[in-house]
């Protein structure tokens, strides 16, 4: 019998790890957890103090469920111990540093031993193959290089699988398109917002997308909706995969979708996942949404125990049709910190994106402006019209704005003013993550 299209394309970088029977996996995870707990207790004074305060000793970890006895690690702990306070090895054993962009006062600086960079390359090799990328592909890496983990992570993973790598970095969008055309790029890696800018530029250059050989896009580092996925796929003529990761664990490579796009597979022999209730901090059962928490099981430089990501999702443990047994989480809709409270109603920017991207008359370029006028919160969504719709004039725009407003009010249970802008009014993302929310209440 002929294989289904997807089955024929499934490639698995490390079947021993990714298709491991669950019982065996749990034994491996327990061994690694016991080792890392012992390791940090003896090497990181922060953890010794935290474990002592929680009255837990390394030898108390006898089953995987005993992880609940361990304290959480929070971003504030890393900030308070900047730069080296959480490190488990001296600088001479560190071969590279990466850091967050530092929206807080100080960035978070993570050190990698040689084994850590090898583990990261392994996680990224698995990630590429989750998306069906092989040595035959030409990968154009338009994530930021330098201290941001995006560029480096995709770079070392592509080298590991033997793909042809173009280390383009972000920006200079017309040149990106020239490279794609001339070098026959088959895989594009960048943030979803930058992918949108590339698609937009391609259209404005009047280049037919069939001239490109793109077939796969691996996009992450920020939340993006299914509607955004469809827009990018149409604009660039590729299949878009969602990749997740964060600097504190290694960078990209913690989890990624496979060919079935049915949740993101977690590399859980390396990063142990939990989802906890953000208020009670109690672990939640599979399927229930909460704060995603990770423990690094093999990291030597800066291992982290029960790190609260503040990203919201739920876990699933059913094996996937792709043959992997790794657990998955649902596409992340936002961070706990991203939640806007508008007159007491909780609103996530992704809910707004889902509504406005349903309208063909609107371009996928928008900004959310929150303010407080006479002690009342206000919410305005500015969104660009497409060229064709803009040409239809003011009345058409007024009618559409009213329609979108009604739909949005229904979806988010908060009233929003809709302003339809002329095409190409809002600034385009040339690098990195989009900033679509301007909360003037926080600025004042
Ligand atoms: O963004 C690492 C990365 C680079 C991931 C390239 C994927 C691709 P940080 O700058 O430390 O690291 O930001 C991590 O970004 O906690 C999430 O809030 C958010 N994030 C990352 N990937 C996704 C995603 C990199 N696929 C923070 N969906 C995380 C939603 C994401 N949010």
Instruction: Judge if the beta carbon of residue 144 lies within 6 A of ligand 1.
Output: no
| Same domain? 127 vs 248 | yes
Domain boundary among 314, 336, 358: 336
* Atom 6 of ligand 1: nearest residue by CA position: 150
Q: How far is the CA of 56 from the centre of ligand 1 (A)?
A: 32
Please identify, by atom number, the ligand 1 atom nearest to the C-alpha of residue 264.
Answer: 26
Q: Is residue 302 one of the residues assigned to a domain?
A: yes
Three-class SS of residue 413?
coil
Q: Is residue 96 one of the residues assigned to a domain?
A: no
Q: Is residue 408 one of the residues assigned to a domain?
A: yes
- Distance in Å from the first CA to the final CA of the chain: 66
Instruction: Judge if the beta carbon of residue 309 lies within 6 A of ligand 1.
Output: yes
Burial (CB count within 10 angstroms: exposed 0-12, middle 13-18, buried 19+), residue 154: buried
Q: What's the confidence (pLDDT) of residue 7?
A: 64
Secondary-structure breakdown of the chain: helix, strand, coil percentages, each rounded to the nearest 5: 35, 25, 40
| Same domain? 182 vs 327 | yes
| Same domain? 437 vs 313 | no
Q: How far is the CA of 247 from the centre of ligand 1 (A)?
A: 8
Residue 27 CA: distances (Å) to CA of 24, 298, 329? 5, 14, 21
Mutate to test the pocket of ligand 1, among 75, 107, 142, 220 (most ligand atoms within 8 A of CB): 220
Q: Is residue 195 one of the residues assigned to a domain?
A: yes
The residues, ordered by sequence, that sit 6+ positions from 58 with a Cβ below 8 Å of its Cβ are: 34, 37, 38, 41, 51
| Same domain? 314 vs 430 | no
Q: Is residue 371 one of the residues assigned to a domain?
A: yes
Q: Half-sphere exposure (CA, 13 Å, Cβ side) for 169?
A: 7
* Atom 9 of ligand 1: nearest residue by CA position: 246
Which residue reads 């370029």 in tokens? Answer: 365
| Same domain? 273 vs 413 | no
| Same domain? 184 vs 280 | yes
Three-class SS of residue 71?
coil
Six-digit token pair at 272? 């142990």
Six-digit token pair at 151? 């560029």
126: alpha, beta or left? (left if phi > 0; alpha if psi -120 to 50)? alpha
* Distance of alpha carbon 3 from alpha carbon 9, whole angstroms: 9
Whether 109 contacts 301, CB under 8 Å: no
Query: DSSP letter at 392?
Result: T
| Same domain? 284 vs 380 | no
CB burial readout 2-39, b (16+ within 10 A) else e: eeeeeeeebebbbeebbbbeeeebeeebbebbbebbeb
Q: Is residue 54 one of the residues assigned to a domain?
A: no
Q: Output the domain CATH number for residue 395.
A: 3.30.300.30
Mutate to test the pocket of ligand 1, among 79, 192, 244, 434 (most ligand atoms within 8 A of CB): 244
Q: How far is the CA of 106 from the centre of ligand 1 (A)?
A: 18
Six-digit token pair at 349? 């920017």
Mutate to test the pocket of ligand 1, among 189, 243, 246, 314 (most ligand atoms within 8 A of CB): 246
Q: Is residue 188 one of the residues assigned to a domain?
A: yes
Instruction: Judge if the beta carbon of residue 246 lies within 6 A of ligand 1.
Output: yes
Whether 379 contacts 419, CB under 8 Å: no
Q: How far is the CA of 254 from the centre of ligand 1 (A)?
A: 10
* Atom 1 of ligand 1: nearest residue by CA position: 221
- Per residue in 83-133, pLDDT (tens digit) is 999 999 999 999 999 998 765 568 899 999 999 999 999 999 999 999 999
Please identify, by atom number, the ligand 1 atom nearest to the C-alpha of residue 433.
Answer: 1
Instruction: Judge if the beta carbon of residue 100 lies within 6 A of ligand 1.
Output: yes
Which residues face 340 on adjacent strands? 347
Residues of the chain with pLDDT under 50: 1-2
Q: How far is the CA of 222 from the centre of ligand 1 (A)?
A: 5
Q: Is residue 423 one of the residues assigned to a domain?
A: yes
Query: DSSP letter at 27?
Result: H
Three-class SS of residue 198?
helix
Q: How far is the CA of 391 from the centre of ligand 1 (A)?
A: 38
| Same domain? 299 vs 356 | no
| Same domain? 257 vs 314 | yes
Please name the residue ranges forming H helices in 162-303: 173-183, 192-204, 226-236
Please identify, by atom number, the ligand 1 atom nearest to the C-alpha of residue 148.
Answer: 10
| Same domain? 316 vs 346 | no
Number of compact structural domains in the chain: 2
Three-class SS of residue 219?
strand
Domain boundary among 336, 351, 369: 336
| Same domain? 323 vs 369 | no
Domain boundary among 320, 336, 352: 336
Q: Output the domain CATH number for residue 140.
A: 3.40.50.12780
The CA angle 237-238-243, to the nearest 5 degrees, is: 145
Nearest to 236 by CA among 297, 194, 175, 289: 194
Q: What's the confidence (pLDDT) of residue 444?
A: 54
Instruction: Judge if the beta carbon of residue 170 lies within 6 A of ligand 1.
Output: no
Q: What's the confidence (pLDDT) of residue 1?
A: 43
| Same domain? 306 vs 384 | no
Q: How far is the CA of 378 from the centre of ligand 1 (A)?
A: 29
Whether 306 contacts 272, CB under 8 Å: no
Please identify, by atom number, the ligand 1 atom nearest to the C-alpha of residue 143.
Answer: 6
* Atom 21 of ligand 1: nearest residue by CA position: 221
Domain housing 363: 339-442
C-alpha torsion 102→273→145→186, nearest 10: -140
């Amino acid at each position: 019998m002929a294989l289904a299209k997807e089955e024929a394309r499934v490639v698995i970088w490390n079947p021993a790890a990714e298709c491991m029977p669950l019982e065996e996996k749990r034994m491996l995870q327990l061994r690694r957890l016991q080792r890392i707990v012992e390791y940090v207790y003896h090497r990181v004074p922060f953890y010794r103090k935290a474990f002592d305060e929680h009255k837990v000793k390394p030898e108390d970890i006898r089953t995987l469920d005993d992880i609940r006895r361990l304290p959480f690690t929070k971003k504030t702990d890393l900030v308070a111990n900047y730069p080296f306070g959480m490190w488990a090895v001296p600088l001479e054993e560190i071969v590279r540093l990466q850091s967050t962009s530092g929206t807080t006062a100080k960035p978070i600086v993570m050190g990698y031993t040689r084994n850590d960079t090898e583990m990261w390359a392994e996680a990224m090799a698995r990630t590429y193959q989750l998306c069906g990328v092989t040595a035959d592909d030409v990968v154009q890496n338009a994530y930021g290089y330098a201290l941001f983990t995006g560029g480096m992570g995709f770079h070392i993973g592509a080298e590991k699988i033997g793909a042809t790598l173009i280390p383009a970095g972000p920006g200079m969008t017309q040149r990106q398109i020239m490279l794609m055309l001339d070098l026959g790029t088959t895989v594009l890696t960048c943030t979803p917002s930058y992918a949108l800018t590339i698609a937009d530029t391609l259209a404005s250059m009047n280049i037919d997308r069939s001239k490109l050989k793109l077939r796969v896009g691996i996009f992450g580092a920020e939340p993006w909706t299914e509607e955004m996925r469809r827009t990018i796929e149409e604009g660039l003529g590729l299949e878009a995969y969602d990749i997740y990761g964060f600097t504190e664990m290694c960078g990209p490579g913690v989890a990624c979708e496979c060919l079935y796009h049915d949740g993101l597979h977690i590399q859980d022999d390396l990063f142990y996942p939990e989802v906890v209730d953000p208020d009670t901090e109690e672990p939640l059962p599979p399927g229930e949404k909460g704060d995603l928490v990770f423990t690094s099981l093999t990291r030597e430089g800066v291992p982290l125990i029960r790190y609260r990501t503040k990203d919201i999702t739920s876990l699933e443990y059913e094996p996937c049709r792709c043959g992997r047994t790794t657990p998955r989480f649902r596409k992340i809709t936002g961070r706990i910190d991203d939640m806007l409270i508008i007159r007491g109603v909780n609103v996530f920017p992704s809910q707004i994106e889902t509504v406005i991207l349903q309208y063909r008359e609107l371009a996928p370029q928008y900004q959310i402006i929150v303010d407080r006028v006479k002690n009342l919160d206000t919410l305005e969504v500015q969104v660009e019209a497409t060229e064709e719709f803009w040409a239809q004039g003011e009345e058409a725009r007024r009618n559409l704005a009213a329609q979108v407003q009604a739909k949005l009010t229904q979806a988010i249970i908060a009233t929003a003013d809709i302003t339809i802008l002329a095409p190409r009014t809002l600034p385009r993302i040339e690098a990195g993550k989009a900033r679509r929310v301007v909360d003037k209440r926080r600025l004042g």
